[in-house]
């Protein structure tokens, strides 16, 4: 048990290195012993095999404050694979706590660099951190950090390829995470990561010269190829990601990984025989335990003071935010997402002055999907799969999986959404469902400032005559709308399952033609009235 605790601590720490906070120091702990180091090495081998230790990639050593696990891949990559990669070693300091959890600490900044040649073109990649520290309390019973925090400063990523160069810098990165037992037997996890002063620049180059050119043309093309054609820059004063998982199946995912790794030697010898044996049953049970992955997952991604700059113009965003909620693999699975944008502006030589009035300054859009049965088909697939067969799912099982989907339960909704510009505010909402496998939808549209929009376009059309067509189309749409007591214009668009479409109750398209199934089954190559001739009697005398 102790071996597995130490192992999971080291593995999970490697997934959460970047972070930023006040200076962090390791928790005091008794000095490690050679015996404890050997036990930890054996425990790690159960997860990663003995190969990394034999190749010198991983090593475990006693430390004055516990045990130190060091990852050093550079010598192996150069000696065994011939890849000259400069990779700074990374070590994790771990020590047991009285409550059965483990202290974890790392203070080694991540840094790596390597060059490679692809199609006679030298390409280089580099990543470095000026400083990085991570400190947490890992709970083996949760297979997650009960608490953790960390930071990274001065992160730089450089990439030079045949057709592009890229440079990314982040002044500070901050990470916090926590976990606790969930109500349904899983693990509840909260996670937050923030980047400040983020900047990325990408330059696109001209393609290399074609073969067969003479010297002067080749030299000119080569000079062009070495120059940048387009530069694109992205900046943000802050980027933040927040996630919350309810009843995540962390332990079950770990057990599935261990099960697969334990059977890999036999699997490499005979795949079908291994899957047909006890491993197949254990794999099925492990997959069923892993469902529904989580009961819910909530993710919020936001940015402040962001900008996009290129030779085509500049786009600036004061604040952008996307909030997403999704269920796990459930009988009534769903997805809900909202996107909000504030302080949007666009400048550039390709945007005419009149168009600025129609660029949305703010936007709020929302979409939801509900009533999707994901559990039944997933359960059917796992319980009835023959992992040893060339086709794990039989035709009968495939048919049952398809039948388990019930479109009539599914509802897709466009939540109340808005687009706001100088001359107009557009309000949207609607929903779509399915009737006899055919979609039916209703869309509600309300426009504020429609007359201002038409007037602005008419003035712009004096300089841009093509805009008269746009004005005509908007006026045609206005003719289909109706005026509200507030002076706005609204349209209620109904698209029925029979193919008909109406706007504010007025039919603008009738139902689709009804197709006779028996007619579809007739011989498509047969001529009409084949065997008869313009009313002439047939051989049996029938007219």
pLDDT in tens, the chain (543 residues): 444 444 444 444 444 444 444 589 999 999 999 999 999 899 888 888 888 999 889 999 999 999 999 999 888 877 777 778 888 999 999 998 999 999 999 999 999 998 887 777 788 999 999 999 999 999 999 999 999 999 999 999 999 988 889 999 999 999 999 999 999 999 999 999 999 999 999 998 877 665 555 545 555 555 544 555 788 999 999 999 999 999 999 999 999 999 999 999 999 999 999 999 999 999 999 999 999 999 999 999 999 999 999 888 899 999 999 999 999 999 999 999 999 999 999 988 878 888 888 899 999 999 999 999 999 999 999 999 999 999 999 999 999 999 998 899 999 999 999 999 999 999 999 999 998 889 999 999 999 999 999 999 999 999 889 999 999 999 999 999 999 999 999 999 999 999 999 999 999 999 999 876 665 555 555 555 544 444 444 444 443
Q: What H or E segment, with its residue span, contains residue 219?
A: helix 215-225
Q: Convert 52-91 to b/e letters by CB count within 10 Å (16 or more is b).
A: bbeeebbbbebbebbbbbebebbebbeeeeeeebebeebb
| Token pair 């199934």 in the structure block, residue | 517
- φ/ψ region of 221 (left if φ > 0, alpha if ψ in -120 to 50, else beta) reads alpha
Asked if 153 and 293 sit in the same domain, the reply is yes
Asked if 377 and 495 sit in the same domain, the reply is no
Asked whether 147 and 190 are in contact (CB, 8 A), the reply is no
Task: Show which of 334, 368, 384 is a domain's final residue.
Answer: 384
pTM: 0.83
Closest CA to 444 of 424, 419, 416, 473: 416
Asked if 200 and 149 sit in the same domain, the reply is yes
Flag whether 519 is in a domain.
no
Q: Tokens representing 240?
A: 């933040």
Q: How far is Cα 335 from Cα 368, in angstroms, rounded to an integer?
A: 6
Q: Convert 272-308 to b/e letters by CB count within 10 Å (16 or more is b).
A: eebbeeebbebbeebbeebbbbbbbbebbebbbebeb
Asked if 182 and 286 sit in the same domain, the reply is yes
Which residues span the domain enclosing 372? 89-384
Flag whether 67 is in a domain.
no
Closest CA to 93 of 157, 29, 152, 48: 29
Asked if 96 and 176 sit in the same domain, the reply is yes
Flag whether 172 is in a domain.
yes
Q: What does the pLDDT read at residue 47?
A: 81
Q: Tokens representing 288?
A: 């069923």
| Token pair 């900047």 in the structure block, residue | 199
Asked whether 247 and 185 are in contact (CB, 8 A), the reply is yes
Q: How far is Cα 436 from Cα 449, in angstroms, rounded to an integer?
A: 40
Asked if 449 and 358 sit in the same domain, the reply is no
Which residue(s) pair with 172 in the sheet?
153, 196
Asked if 359 and 431 sit in the same domain, the reply is no
Q: Please count the structural domains in the chain.
A: 2
Q: How far is Cα 295 from Cα 327, in angstroms, rounded to an integer?
A: 6
Flag whether 186 is in a domain.
yes
Q: How many CA atoms lie within 13 A of 408 on its CB side?
A: 4
Q: Where are the alpha helices (DSSP H) in 355-437?
A: 375-384, 395-404
Q: What does the pLDDT read at residue 211?
A: 58
Tell me the DSSP string of 165-176.
EEEEEEEEEEEE
Q: How far is Cα 541 from Cα 543, in angstroms, rounded to an integer?
A: 7
Asked if 371 and 295 sit in the same domain, the reply is yes
Q: At how many degrees (to 10) do helices 395-404 and 375-384 cross?
A: 170
The number of residues making up the chain comes to 543
Q: What does the pLDDT read at residue 207?
A: 72
Asked if 440 and 334 sit in the same domain, the reply is no
Q: How far is Cα 196 from Cα 129, in angstroms, rounded to an integer?
A: 14
Asked if 431 and 366 sit in the same domain, the reply is no
Q: What does the pLDDT read at residue 9?
A: 43
DSSP state of 361: S
Task: Show which of 359, 384, 409 is a domain's final residue.
Answer: 384
Asked if 442 and 491 sit in the same domain, the reply is yes
Flag whether 201 is in a domain.
yes
Tell me the DSSP string of 435-459.
ETTEEEEEEEEEEESHHHHHHHHHH
Q: How far is Cα 385 from Cα 380, in angstroms, rounded to an integer?
A: 8
Asked if 245 and 134 sit in the same domain, the reply is yes
Flag whether 212 is in a domain.
yes
Asked whether 69 and 80 are in contact (CB, 8 A), the reply is no
Flag whether 493 is in a domain.
yes
Flag whether 120 is in a domain.
yes
Task: For residue 292, say if its preceding peptide bond is cis, omega within 30 degrees of 0.
Answer: yes
Q: What does the pLDDT read at residue 86?
A: 87
- CA geometry: angle at 131 spanning 234 and 11, to 5°? 95
């Amino acid at each position: 048990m102790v071996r597995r605790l130490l192992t999971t601590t080291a593995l999970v720490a490697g997934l959460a290195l970047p972070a930023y906070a006040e200076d962090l120091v390791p928790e005091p702990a008794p000095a490690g012993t050679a015996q404890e180091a050997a036990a930890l090495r054996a425990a790690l081998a159960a997860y990663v095999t003995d190969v990394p230790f034999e190749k010198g990639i991983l090593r475990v050593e006693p430390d004055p404050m516990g045990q130190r696990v060091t990852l050093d891949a550079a010598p192996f990559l150069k000696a065994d694979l011939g890849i000259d990669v400069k990779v700074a070693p990374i070590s994790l300091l771990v020590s047991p706590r009285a409550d059965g959890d483990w202290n974890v600490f790392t203070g080694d900044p991540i840094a790596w660099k390597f060059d490679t040649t692809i199609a006679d073109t030298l390409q280089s990649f580099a990543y470095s951190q000026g400083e990085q520290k991570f400190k947490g309390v890992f709970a083996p019973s949760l297979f997650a950090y009960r608490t953790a925090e960390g930071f990274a400063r001065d992160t730089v990523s450089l990439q030079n390829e045949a057709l592009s160069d890229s440079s990314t810098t982040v002044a500070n990165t901050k990470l916090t995470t926590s976990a606790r037992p969930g109500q349904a037997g899983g693990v509840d996890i909260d996670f937050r990561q923030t980047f400040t002063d983020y900047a990325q620049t990408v330059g696109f180059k001209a393609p290399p010269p074609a073969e067969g050119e003479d010297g002067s043309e080749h030299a000119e093309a080569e000079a062009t190829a070495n120059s940048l054609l387009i530069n694109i820059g992205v900046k943000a004063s802050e980027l933040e990601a927040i996630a919350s998982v309810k009843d995540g199946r962390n332990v079950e995912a770990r057990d599935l990984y261990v099960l697969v790794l334990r059977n890999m030697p036999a699997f490499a010898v005979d795949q079908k025989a291994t899957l047909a044996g006890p491993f197949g049953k254990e794999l099925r049970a492990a997959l069923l335990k892993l469902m529904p992955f989580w009961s819910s997952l909530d993710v919020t991604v936001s940015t402040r003071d962001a900008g996009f700059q290129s030779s085509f113009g500049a786009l600036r965003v004061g604040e952008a935010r996307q909030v997403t909620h999704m269920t796990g693999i459930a009988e009534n699975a769903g997805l809900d997402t909202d996107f909000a944008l504030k302080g949007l502006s666009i400048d550039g030589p390709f945007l005419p002055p009149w168009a600025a009035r129609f660029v949305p300054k703010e936007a709020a859009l929302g979409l939801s999907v509900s009533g999707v049965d994901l559990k039944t088909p997933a359960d059917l697939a796992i319980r009835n799969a023959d992992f040893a067969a060339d086709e794990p799912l039989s035709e009968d099982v495939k048919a049952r999986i398809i039948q388990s989907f019930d479109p009539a339960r599914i509802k897709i909704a466009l939540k109340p959404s808005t687009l706001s510009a100088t001359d107009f505010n557009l309000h949207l909402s609607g929903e779509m469902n399915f009737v006899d496998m055919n979609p039916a939808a209703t869309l509600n549209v309300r426009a504020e400032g429609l007359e201002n929009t038409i007037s602005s376009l008419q003035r712009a059309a004096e300089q841009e005559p093509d805009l008269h067509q746009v004005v005509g189309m908007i006026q045609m749409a206005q003719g289909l709308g109706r005026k509200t007591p507030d002076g706005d214009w609204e349209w209620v668009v109904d698209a029925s399952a029979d193919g008909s479409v109406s706007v504010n109750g007025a039919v603008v398209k009738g139902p689709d033609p009804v197709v006779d199934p028996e007619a579809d089954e007739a011989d498509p190559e047969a001529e009409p009235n084949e065997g008869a001739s313009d009313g002439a009697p047939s051989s049996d005398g029938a007219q």
